[in-house]
Amino acid sequence: MPPLSWKVNEIFYSIQGEGAHAGMPAVFLRLAGCSMGCDFCDTKYAFSGGKEMNGLQILVALSEYPSKTVVITGGEPAEQNLPGLISALKSAGHIVHLETNGAHDSDVSQADFVCVSPKKYVSKEMLKKADIIKLVVSQTTDLEDLKKYYNYENEKTTIYLQPESNKQENIDLCVKLVKEHPSARLSVQLHKLINVR
């Protein structure tokens, strides 16, 4: 049987700019491919293409960086063999964080941290597996519909509201919503504010 491989868009070292671990250094493993294709996506370049890499090649690339925390992102990681990738990273001693739109239910039990950011549609099972549910908010967001995600909050799962594109009007709306729902948290895109990738 041939070794497992994944289509990788890029691997780079930076800081986490969003959510619960904002400011933390991590290696980003961006997989290629996403069938959802949201208009506001800031990584449209990862919708297709990618370089085929097997587990060993990925691990060699990751070894160039000092952080053992790897953020699997995309594109949409769950459109590839996500459990196999998480397992390979964990076997090599990495701390694995995952960022997914949650549209595809996947075994993420080995991941250390799971961020589900729902877009057009989302699996209820994936919402139950999330450590954080990150909701992108803009002036066109249906605020009543957004409240359904609050039902998934518990001692494990926290809601983060993220202003689309860091626009001031969206930040103001998120601040208002967080103040109305104090168990939620604000997540501005720190990496864009400080101008790093």
Query: Which CATH number do you get for residue 86?
Result: 3.20.20.70
Residue 72 predicted with pLDDT over 80: yes
Residue 99 predicted with pLDDT over 80: yes
H helix or E strand, kind and range, residue 93 = none
Residue 185 predicted with pLDDT over 80: yes
Residue 3 predicted with pLDDT over 70: no
Q: Per-residue pLDDT tens for 80-90?
A: 999 999 999 99
For residues 115 and 41, the model is more confident at 115
Q: Per-residue pLDDT tens for 19-49?
A: 999 999 999 999 999 999 888 888 999 999 9
Q: Per-residue pLDDT tens for 10-23?
A: 999 999 999 999 99
pLDDT band of residue 115 (cuts 50, 70, 90) is very high
Tell me, what amino acid is at 101? N
| Those residues with Cβ within 8 angstroms of residue 193's Cβ, 6 or more apart along the chain or in another chain | 166
Question: Is residue 193 within 8 Å of 171, Cβ to Cβ?
Answer: no
Tokens 């926290």 found at: 158
What confidence score (pLDDT) does residue 113 get? 98
Q: Is 62 helix (H, G, I), strand (E, B) or coil?
A: helix
What confidence score (pLDDT) does residue 38 get? 87
* 43-71 mean pLDDT: 96
Q: Per-residue pLDDT tens for 133-183?
A: 999 999 999 999 999 999 999 999 999 999 999 999 999 999 999 999 999
Q: Is 13 exposed, middle or buried (0-12, 13-18, 19+ CB in 10 A)?
A: middle
Q: Is 123 helix (H, G, I), strand (E, B) or coil?
A: coil
Q: Does this model's pTM top 0.85? A: yes
Q: How many domains are there within the chain?
A: 1
Query: Mean pLDDT in the chain?
Result: 96
Domain range for 11 = 5-193
Which of these, 117, 133, 137, 132, lies nearest to 177 by C-alpha position? 137
What confidence score (pLDDT) does residue 1 get? 42
